[in-house]
Amino acid sequence: MRTRSAISLMLIGLLLIPLTGCWNSRELRDLSIIGAIGIDKLPDKPGYKVSFQIINPSAVTTTGTGGGGGQSGIPVTVYTGNGRSIFEVIRKTSGLSPRQLFFSHIRLIVIGETLAREDLSNLFDFFERSHEIRLTTKLVVSRGSSAEQLLQVLTPLERIPSDAIYGKLESTKSIWSESMITGVDDVINRLIGPGKQLLISGVRILGDQDKGGEKANLDKTKLPAEIEIKGIALFKNGRLETWLDGGKARGALRIQDKMNSSVVTVPCKDRDDPAAIAAIEITRSRTKVKATVVDGEPAFRVYVREEGNVGEVSCAVDLSKKEAIEELEQRWRSKTKQEIREAIEAAQSRSSDVYGFGEVLNRSYPRTWKKLEDRWSEVFADCEIEVQVESFIRRSGMRTKPYIKE
Amino acid sequence: MIKRRKLRSQTSQQPSGNSVSPLGTDLKANLQRMNRSMGHSNDLVIREFRIGYVQEDAAIAFIDNLVDKKIIGEFVLRSTMSGTADSESNASERDIDVLDTIKNRILPLGEAAIAKEWNELFAAVLNGDTAIFVNGYAGAIIVSTHGGEHRSVEEPSSEVLIRGPKEGFTESIATNISLVRRRLKTRNLWMDGFKIGNVTQTNVGILYIKGIAGDKTVEEVKRRLASIETDGVLESGIVEEFIRDHPFSLFPTMYNTERPDSVAAGLLEGRVAILIDGTPFVLLAPTTFFMFFQSPEDHYHNFQFAIFIRTLRFVAFLISLLGPSIYVAAISFHQEMIPTSLLLSLAAQREGVPFPALIEAFLMEASFEILREAGVRMPRAIGQAVSIVGAIVLGQAAVQAGIVSSAMVIVVSLTGIASFTMPAYNMGISIRMLRFMLMISAGLFGFFGIALGGLIITAHLCSIRSFGIPFMAPFAPFIAADQKDTLLRLPRWFLNTRPRLISQENTTRMNGSKPAPPGDAAEEGSPDEN
């Protein structure tokens, strides 16, 4: 009895060897860890030009006492290949890379502007299909340069450029709110969602594009080439239509209730003096979008409730007085309203419902939505959208009256 | 092992050689026979004298160094030699057995008996007793004169506590029993004695509290002890191997301790203690898996700290069992699970390492085990120095030479340190061995292999028993009441029951009630406050 069970146990153990699906044990030193992928359009023929930003571990970590100390200090290497499909290029690049490309740690996918202006709605199948790539990988559009060029720019502090770009995205999103973070999963959801269009943040190179890839880029205090997060790309049917910048971008975030914190500058007092301003820090902002249908015509109301603190004042205004605060709140309110209006206008003029008004309608009036679904783009362009803003200033900082005298 | 077997075959005739044979009446013949039987050993002391009371020739025989000579001189020789032949009583008591008279009226000693038979006599004499022969009487008086050299009660070296009694068991079973008895002053603390080992005739005692320990368990322990057939028992480990359940299991199914307080606590829970002469390690049965994670100190410190420490111990257990295998699996199969920056730093470290992760792990683990073993066997004076030098050479230098990565050194040393947190050394041994098996399966199959290994270990643990009690109790089977003192250690006033499976009939401990201000206590009417 005992021997029989022991034998059967051993047989079961033997069966396991062919059962192991993930048998492919890979040593770390046989892997090229990729930090970012860039995808550009080939200039004259169909297909993609794909760039891989490969991280050089021993140049990135400060205490790499392993044998590879003598290598060049450049933290990343960029390999580029051409092909009809992304997958094809990946395998093709093996001729360039001494190690197998490893995609699980991709932070960023950069899409070249020229490709974005053409059509990217069919681009994402590979990212969804591959088991190595995470769906939460973030997407950005390279603004004014190719993705390949952008990936080549070296960055200080964060030695890995993809990490640097990601860090910039995170920090500007949370304290300036003029850009948003979009993952591959978000993009796919939006592409298949009802009437929803894409919004993807833009990234551009400031300065000399060609110098960005040189090691000298890290040896200067003022960098010859820098990467900046700038604007939000507005898409229609997978095609980049326009860029939302500044107030418009902020308005776009407000409509989607994605505002974290930002600083709004409003004129202080009544004078038209451009130097007399008050800067208000937004500490809390909540947005609700409501749909109504009148005579079969949908209309929307965007309701914003925001709170903030006064952060800076450059004119003599006594903030201990209720009237002064109310006046500031009034100005702030109209500024917010204006930003939102601009953002809506930008979308309506391109008849691209990037903010998801269609989904609000679908949720509240599914029958109306069914009727309008097919021609939603045109309907949306003419929709009545009302904006209501409530603004509250809660604190005025460490003092009420500024030292500035009239 | 082989040696022992040989020994048995040589000596197996010996016990039958001096089988049941009564003593003769002739003093000279008896003494001669005794001397001959023991091969005229030098330490057999035979002293002939004349008993004053009956004016009869007599002799005492004892083994030098096993006896307390003061007792022999003061109480055996002096009392028997003194006195003169009292004619009156002589006449009346001539016919009565002189041996009885001496035993009953003359010897002022606590323990005395009369042996009529040689085997009995030898057993007693070799145990440190003294035999008194009287000419003309077939029999000898055996008086207890145990003595000789013993290690005194010292702090146990294998189980160190910060707070708690500093006494440890010694090699003398008598001392050990007294250490336990002193802690449990109840007439219900019962003891049974055995002699195990055909040659060694080792005294083995079992201790249990009648009414708390399960009768079946006691019977089972006795049955298993009685069935041991061996030449010699030199340590409790030998007894353990004979009587334990699942002798092929890697896990110890019996608990051993050097601490009388641990034994007392075990007895109070209804376990049976097995004490063996010649070793300070006392066995406790039945044993459960979670006993090995508990230190007596858990009950001596406050309960919050005890819960913290126990949690820590379980974490350390998992680290020491799985540490290297998780590292190997993650680094060679599941790179996507490691956070990017950590992966990059690991990749940088492994850049120059010539071995695959599994080989590297084996190399380091093996050298750590060598260091550990060397540290134990080394003469104490140089042991520490050697292990420090070994650690520096193997750790620092190997990393600098690029043979192993520093992350591996960290993993291995963390594993090593974590394995020292086990209060019981023998559980640590099984973890050390299982760690290597898990490393292999992790190196072959990744996390799948670890899960598989873990499954096999868990299934095995759930299938074994110790003296009828499931090894994984109170988790498999789940017993809610026993959770109070397993992973957690609740305050004392909550611990009002004994482990249910172990003390089956009498599980109420009645631990008293929660400390409260005097007024409240009076209201609750708790008799044993403090």
Q: What is the pLDDT of residues B315-325, one digit of tens each?
A: 999 999 999 99
d(CA B263, CA B255): 10
Residue A217 maps to a domain: yes
Q: Are residues A37 and A179 in the same domain?
A: yes
Q: Are residues A354 and A402 in the same domain?
A: yes
Judge whether B453 is closer than 8 Å to chain A, CB to CB: no
Q: Are residues A180 and A43 in the same domain?
A: yes
Q: Centre a 10 Å sphere on the Cβ of residue A160 and count the other Cβ atoms it contains.
A: 26
pLDDT at B395: 74
Q: Which helix (H) or strand (E) is B200 found in, with range?
A: none
pLDDT at B496: 81
Distance from CA of B446 to the nearest CA of A (A): 8
Contact B349 A26 (CB under 8 A): no
Judge whether B357 is closer than 8 Å to chain A, CB to CB: yes
pLDDT at A70: 43
- What ipTM describes this predicted complex? 0.79
Show which of A244, A271, A294 is a domain's final residue. A244
pLDDT of B264 strictly over 90 = yes
pLDDT of A365 strictly over 80 = yes
Total domain count for chain A? 2
pLDDT of B527 strictly over 70 = no
Contact A67 B347 (CB under 8 A): no
Contact B332 A23 (CB under 8 A): no
Residue A133 maps to a domain: yes
Show which of A217, A244, A271 is a domain's final residue. A244
pLDDT at B399: 81
Average of pLDDT values for A260-285? 85
Q: Are residues A319 and A385 in the same domain?
A: yes
Pick B510 or B276 by higher pLDDT: B276
Asked if residue A346 lies in contact with residue A199, where contact means CB atoms within 8 angstroms, the answer is no
pLDDT at B498: 84
pLDDT at B19: 58
pLDDT of A22 strictly over 50 = no
A interface mutation test: which of B325, B327, B344, B440 has the most A CBs within 10 A?
B344
Q: What is the pLDDT of residues A89-131, one digit of tens each?
A: 988 888 888 888 888 899 999 999 999 998 888 888 898 888 8
- The alpha carbon dihedral of B178, B184, B187, B191 has a sign of negative
List chain B residues with CB under 8 Å of A55. 344
Q: Are residues A176 and A297 in the same domain?
A: no
Contact A28 B406 (CB under 8 A): no
What SS3 state is found at B8? helix
Judge whether A22 is closer than 8 Å to chain B, CB to CB: yes
Q: Are residues A227 and A331 in the same domain?
A: no
pLDDT of A248 strictly over 60 = yes
Pick A380 or A27 by higher pLDDT: A380
Q: What is the pLDDT of residues B413-465, one digit of tens each?
A: 899 889 888 888 888 888 989 999 999 888 888 888 899 999 999 999 999 99
Q: What is the pLDDT of residues A34-77, one digit of tens each?
A: 999 999 998 888 889 999 999 988 887 765 444 444 445 788 99
pLDDT of A19 strictly over 60 = no
Q: Name the pTM for this structure.
A: 0.81
What does each C-alpha distance from A170 to A161, A233, A350 come to in angstroms? 14, 17, 28
Q: Are residues A205 and A79 in the same domain?
A: yes
Judge whether B349 is closer than 8 Å to chain A, CB to CB: yes
- Which amino acid is present at B14? Q
pLDDT at B309: 92
Of B345, B402, B446, the CB nearest to A61: B345
Distance from CA of A159 to the nearest CA of B (A): 11
What's the CATH code of the domain at A326?
3.30.300.210
Q: What is the pLDDT of residues B483-498, one digit of tens each?
A: 888 888 888 888 888 8
Q: Are residues A219 and A289 in the same domain?
A: no
pLDDT at A307: 94
d(CA A174, CA A176): 6
- Taking each helix axis as running N to C, give the angle between helix B303-332 and helix B406-419, from 0 to 180 degrees, rounded to the nearest 10: 150
d(CA B173, CA A197): 86
Task: Give me chain A's average pLDDT, please.
Answer: 86
pLDDT at A271: 65
Ramachandran region, residue B65 (left: φ > 0; alpha: ψ -120 to 50; beta: rest): left
Closest CA to A40 of A164, A150, A172: A150
Q: Are residues A254 and A396 in the same domain?
A: yes
Residue A290 maps to a domain: yes
- For chain B, the maximum distance between any two Cα atoms, rounded to a whole number of angstroms, is 106
- Which amino acid is present at B369? E
Residue A23 maps to a domain: no
Give first-to-last CA distance, chain B, whole Å.
53
Pick A6 or B182 by higher pLDDT: B182
Q: Are residues A113 and A227 in the same domain?
A: yes
Judge whether B404 is closer than 8 Å to chain A, CB to CB: no
Residue A21 maps to a domain: no
Judge whether B249 is closer than 8 Å to chain A, CB to CB: no
Alpha carbon B467 to its chain's center: 16
Q: Are residues A99 and A135 in the same domain?
A: yes
d(CA A351, CA A371): 18
Nearest residue of chain B to residue A20 (CA atoms): B445
Average of pLDDT values for B10-38? 70
Residue A368 maps to a domain: yes
Show which of A244, A266, A285 is a domain's final residue. A244
List chain A residues with CB under 8 Å of B446. 20, 22, 25
Domain ranges of chain B: 16-143, 173-287, 302-470
pLDDT at A16: 65
Distance from CA of B473 to the nearest CA of A (A): 24
pLDDT category at A390 given cuts 50, 70, 90 is very high
Q: What is the pLDDT of residues B69-108, one digit of tens each?
A: 888 888 888 888 876 655 555 545 555 677 777 777 777 7
Residue A32 maps to a domain: yes
Q: Which domain holds residue A296?
A: 246-406
d(CA A112, CA B506): 79
Q: Are residues A41 and A125 in the same domain?
A: yes
